[in-house]
Chain A
Amino acid sequence: MSRLITITINDKPYQVEPNQTIMQAADKLGFHIPRLCYHPKLSIEGACRVCIVEVEGMKNYVASCAFPVSDGMKIRTNTQALRTARRDIIELILDNHPQDCHTCERDGNCELQRLAASMGIRARHFEGERKRYEKDLSSEAVIRDPEKCILCGRCVRMCSEIQQVHNLTQAHRGFHTVVMPAYNMPMGESVCTACGQCINVCPTAAFLEKNYTQELFEKLNDPNLVKVVQFAPSVRAAIGEAFGLEPGLNMEGQLIASLRKLGFDYVFDTQFSADLTIMEEASEFLERLQSGGVLPMITSCSSAWMKCLEQFYPDLIPNVSTCKSPMSMQGAITKTYFAKKKKIDPRKILSVAVMCCTAKKYEAARPELMFDGMRGVDIVVTTREAAWMIKSAGIDLVNIQPEEPDHPLGISSGAGAIFGATGGVMEAAIRTAYELYTGETLVDIEVEAVRGLKGIKEGSITMDGKEIRVAVAHGLGNACRLLERVRQDPSRYHFIEIMGCPGGCVGGGGQPYAQINSIPLDDENLRKRAQALYDLDKAKTIRRSHDNPDVQKLYKEFLQSPLSPVSHQYLHTHYKAKTPVGIIPRNERTLSGDSK
């Protein structure tokens, strides 16, 4: 550890580590300096100046997010002059901002609002010209509203530094600066993967998911429809946060009860189809392994990753599993097997999915996933949208009596639950592949090597004396570095799991916004959500997908066996190269570190 230095903050001396910024030191000492453009996972932009502090001997205020501490430094964080200066900065931002909080989707959940309130801004002093732009509604998933943008640049850095999609830039300059894709292309025609991480980090309503809540409320009131809903593993681990609960509480039973109260006739669990996915995916992997198929095989559950694949890595399409995602498998089974069993016309089924993910909206609309002229999933709403609907309908999710999912697409194994966390699909697949391959039961089923938030994780298992090398990446930036390794050395791994979002689905682009005193994509928060799923796994008696009795029944009554022609018809798909072609700078692809 390096020698400590002494700084004073607001006239009190403190011993702190050198080589950190004033903001970092102050945070640890319990002084929360206001901030806007800063995010601990992103590079420092120093653009907003909200974080200014006074440093004795310096002529101007300094941006504490960028300025390093030094021995003997005297810092003030809350003088009257500073308070005024900060307030002016926020007032100037507000001056160039629509005054429509009441009709804004971020109302009550907006960092700009919170900042303005914390500065005590109670009147608007600078009323001037303000920017006016059209909303970009072109994407199935992500809406861009430049009028609400305050140019903090967090989305641009998220998209290029963590996701390495590089879809966004701050184009033009000065008053005319706008965050947009290249050539001001509509989002729906850009390289955007629909991951929604720009939404997660945006402090305002400048990025939002395409909202389907009104349409869904309307359809829920249509007596001619049979309303069926499924919800993803990580929704249950996060939705409580939108109701003020602490992160990491499993709200499965309460969510099921709330969805029934909303008007759904059948509440199914996407974890059921996670088990089904494992049956297909593990079988596909073993088939490739035994018949000399293309390896490494790469998972295909993450819709943002699928779009990324088609634009950035078309050369790896043969490596990617042909399995649809659990959501789409569930949709297909709902409108075929379930419809037949219940003698319902599948066209009368409204198939809804509550997902932690914005890209699932894009996925649900993919024409490749249609079967018998139908979409498997008609409407996707995010965890955020579902939480809003539940509140809006006056349902008390926190205190409601928990309920069980419906049958026959409701039972799931522990393996299906951990699908929501990075490494979970791999762990679930290993549990089943091992048994299918060796004929023996894997005793030690908790695969620690693929758990946790390390950017790229590697591990291996031995099946009948054969070593199977696996790797896991979460966040598209980590995926990019892992895939570069694969391009260079295709035989390095046998099986790879990729999830497009940081932390996996628990960190999805549709999860609840950071609550007060929390920041978007906080690692601790992601860990707690993941832990909720691992605890759920542990508590189950059935922990392997192939032991799920309803999945076994589904094969017996409908699908016959994994990879059968019926399975192929409904549960598998294909991918093809798409434009615009994504470009990742060479030096970013070859970064060696396994960063988060």
Chain B
Amino acid sequence: MTQNQTEKLQAIREAMLAARNDAHPESHLIGILHKVQDVFGYLPREMMDEVAQTLEIPTAHIWGVATFYHYFNLEPIGRHVVSVCMGTACYVKGAASVLETLKKELGVEVGKTTSDGLFTLQEARCLGACGIAPVMMIDEKIYGQLDSKKTVDIINQYRKAAAEEKSAVGAETRRGKP
């Protein structure tokens, strides 16, 4: 955990202790869950447990809230978020088969993260790039006019980059760097 994260977590714990003494601790729940997601990128189970115990809100209730709002992620997010546009234009141009390709290639369902933690697969509403449909977005970057082969190629570029980075780090470590 970075310095910044640790500080933020500290702030959340203080906010929870304040909320606990409120007549209606549950009115602070959504705000606190937002803050937790800010720090971790998702809602870790241990944190939901901690919120439940501190605010004295039953865990099932927290789970109901966390699963109701699409905003909350219930699982860790991969290093790269792959969003496939399922807007009308993309759909007509074959977004569904792009999505199928990605599911197969990454071996995960929509909303899930690959076991190496590299990709999270998501569906998106219109990404505003209908001219080059079908499109997907990886992190902030848009890729258009996709077909199966192109999609796999792009994914492989990211994999390659990650592998190179890893071996570079490995080499540095072997050279005795921290």
Which of A160, A171, A181, A583 is B56 in contact with, Cβ under 8 Å?
A: A583
Q: Chain B residues with Cβ under 8 A from A168's Cβ?
A: 60
Q: Is A400 an interface residue (CB 8 A)?
A: no
**Considering only CB atoms, which chain B residue lies closest to A580 in the complex?**
B59
Q: Chain B residues with Cβ under 8 A from A583's Cβ?
A: 52-53, 56-59
User: Are A183 and B57 in touch, CB under 8 angstroms?
Assistant: no
Q: Is B6 an interface residue (CB 8 A)?
A: no
Query: CA A440 – CA B64 in complex, angstroms?
Result: 57
Residue in A166, A169, A580, A585 whose Cβ sees the most chain B Cβ within 10 Å: A169
Interface residues in B, total, Cβ within 8 A: 19
Query: CA A582 – CA B60 in complex, angstroms?
Result: 10
Minimal beta-carbon separation of B50 from chain A (angstroms): 12
B interface, by DSSP: helix, strand, loop or mixed?
helix
Q: Is B62 an interface residue (CB 8 A)?
A: yes
Query: CA A169 – CA B23 in complex, angstroms?
Result: 23
Q: Is A591 an interface residue (CB 8 A)?
A: no
Q: Chain B residues with Cβ under 8 A from A582's Cβ?
A: 58
Q: Chain B residues with Cβ under 8 A from A586's Cβ?
A: 25, 56
Q: Chain A residues with Cβ under 8 A from B53's Cβ?
A: 581, 583
Q: Mark B55-85, 1 if CB is under 8 A from A, else 0.
A: 0111111111001100000000000000000
User: Are B68 and A182 in touch, CB under 8 angstroms?
Assistant: no
Which of A173, A181, A581 is B60 in contact with, Cβ under 8 Å?
A: A181
Q: Mark B130-157, 1 if CB is under 8 A from A, else 0.
A: 0000000000000000000000000000
User: Are B58 and A585 in touch, CB under 8 angstroms?
Assistant: yes
Minimal beta-carbon separation of A538 from chain B (angstroms): 43
Q: Chain B residues with Cβ under 8 A from A182's Cβ?
A: 48, 58-60, 62-63
Q: Is B159 an interface residue (CB 8 A)?
A: no
**Considering only CB atoms, which chain B residue lies closest to A168 in the complex?**
B60
Q: Chain A residues with Cβ under 8 A from B49's Cβ?
A: 580
Q: Is A172 an interface residue (CB 8 A)?
A: yes
Residue in A167, A182, A587 whose Cβ sees the most chain B Cβ within 10 Å: A182
Can you list 19 A-B pairs with a CB-CB distance of less than 8 A?
A: A160-B58, A166-B60, A167-B60, A169-B60, A169-B64, A171-B68, A181-B60, A182-B48, A183-B45, A183-B63, A184-B63, A191-B59, A582-B58, A583-B53, A583-B56, A583-B57, A583-B58, A583-B59, A585-B25
The 8 A-B pairs at the shortest CB distance, nearest first, are namely A166-B58, A169-B64, A182-B59, A169-B60, A182-B63, A171-B67, A182-B60, A172-B67
